[in-house]
Chains A and B, each alone.
Chain A
Amino acid sequence: MTIMIDVRGVEKSFTLHNQGGASFSVLEAVQLQVVAGECVVLHGQSGAGKSTLLKALYANYAVSSGSIVLRDGEQRVDITTALPRRILALRERTVGYVSQFLRVIPRIPTLQVVMQPLLDLGVDEAVCEDKAKDLLSRLNVPERLWSLSPSTFSGGEQQRVNIARGFIVDYPILLLDEPTASLDAANRQVVVQLINEAKARGAAVVGIFHDEDVREAVADRLVDIRAI
């Protein structure tokens, strides 16, 4: 079995320099291995550090110590020491991250927002467009919205656009931070299907899901993140 994510001895603390220099530890001695085709669900109370770990896996947060090695084809990259451009290249084709929030860029229509990550890989525009339309349809985003910028969409609509964008590239590693929060049951079910399809093609998935039904449907394993 191919180890796609290999986390060893990760510690993470925050120091709030402008609040009296208060320092607190969030992650200690985290070990985690995730293999291709597996979905690990992070579990733990609010504030335990689930999102912090997920962000560290995306190199959005720096860790205080330890290593996080991601598999990129035949290469293994420690993202705690890699150069920015190496991390950006990983994010282009290897590791995807979906949260509940869409970072909207004004003026860009929904269809373009969704297909952009695949276009950036040099995939034929027609192929990207078909895939984007398929994802938006599956996620029940009405066709009349596709040509509009998502900046004026409802929270739930933006969230579904964000999910479509997150699944447009077949990333070998997928990080999901409550992508189903506040979605209705029908749309949650679509996300479950998307995750299971990703697993079936061999993606390693790490997710945070508060809905019991989603967790049941996708998790191979629960990992406890304890508040320190």
Chain B
Amino acid sequence: MSNTAQTWQDIEPLLSVQQLSKFYAPGKGCGDVSFDLYPGEVLGIVGESGSGKSTLLNSLSARLAPDAGKVIYRSEQFGELDLYAGEESLRRQLMRSEWGIVHQHAADGLRMNVSAGANIGERLMAVGERHYGDIRARAEQWLQAVEIDSNRIDDKPTQFSGGMQQRLQIARNLVTHPRLIFMDEPTGGLDVSVQARLLDLLRTLVAQLGLSVIIVTHDLAVARLLAHRLMVMRRGEVVESGLTDQVLDDPQHPYTQLLVSSILQN
């Protein structure tokens, strides 16, 4: 069968996660998580508050050392990397170049006291761009790409609305053309109409740029719209995973059934 056919075998996962565990206390954290993420895939992590979604995301994105298990990342520049076996400096370099991180609170992902243009330009400078005119031009392009008027380039994020700050955070991340983006509740705390616009933008950019994404959300509508695959977490464990619409429309695990039935579906 074609699972084993050439074209499907040839592509290697971008990220391979093997029995990853990080617990603060019994049931608090995440345990024994394994999966492969392939180029261009969007993986959604859903589950109730406190189920360990952020803990898992932080461990996957080299920000929180696990108690056990491995994260293997196939880097463009450095080849196959065992994340936590390598140097700290390497992880920092990945975060500046091949990875992007979109935080729930824009203030955690932006520098609030410098201009929008500088927020974007800073990422470019971190990967070696030096030409001021080029940097400014790229910043303008990316502001437009995330639907922020480019004449706001010299304004500080504090002068932006919540939705604009979130879009600026996305622009700052995407400007270096990362391959893998981690997002933790990127639409949390935004108005419904602002959320819709942000989601639409994210969906388009992810498809256009062929990005791989791991997105944490407790909002199943967001998961349905963006994610190809889902992992459902409960008390630190992955209880069910699979194709997004299959998990949501034909949930197998008692907890997933509860989660799906307790939410008004659109």
Contacts and interface: CB of A to CB of B under 8 A. Distances in A.
Interface stretch (B132-140, B150-158, B243-251): B243-251
Interface stretch (A55-63, A157-165, A194-202): A55-63
A60 B245 CA distance: 6
Counting chain A residues whose Cβ lies within 8 A of the other chain, the interface size class is 20 to 34
Contacts, number: 71
Contacts of B254: 17-18
A81 interface: yes
Contacts of B246: 59-62
B257 A60 contact: no
B228 A88 contact: yes
Contact of A81 (B3, B38, B245, B261): B3
Contacts of A84: 41, 228-229, 242-244
A61 B8 contact: no
A87 interface: yes
Interface in A62-87: 62, 69, 72, 75-78, 81-87
Contacts of B258: 17-18
How many residues of B sit at the interface, in one of the four size bands?
20 to 34
B38 A85 contact: yes
A93 to B, nearest CB: 13
27 contacts: A17-B253, A17-B257, A17-B258, A18-B254, A18-B261, A55-B249, A59-B243, A60-B246, A69-B1, A72-B2, A75-B1, A78-B1, A78-B3, A81-B3, A82-B3, A83-B3, A84-B243, A85-B38, A85-B228, A86-B2, A86-B3, A86-B8, A88-B228, A88-B243, A105-B203, A106-B200, A120-B207
Given A62-B250, A84-B228, 14 more contacts: A15-B252, A18-B254, A18-B257, A18-B261, A55-B249, A75-B1, A82-B2, A83-B3, A85-B228, A86-B8, A103-B266, A106-B196, A107-B196, A107-B197
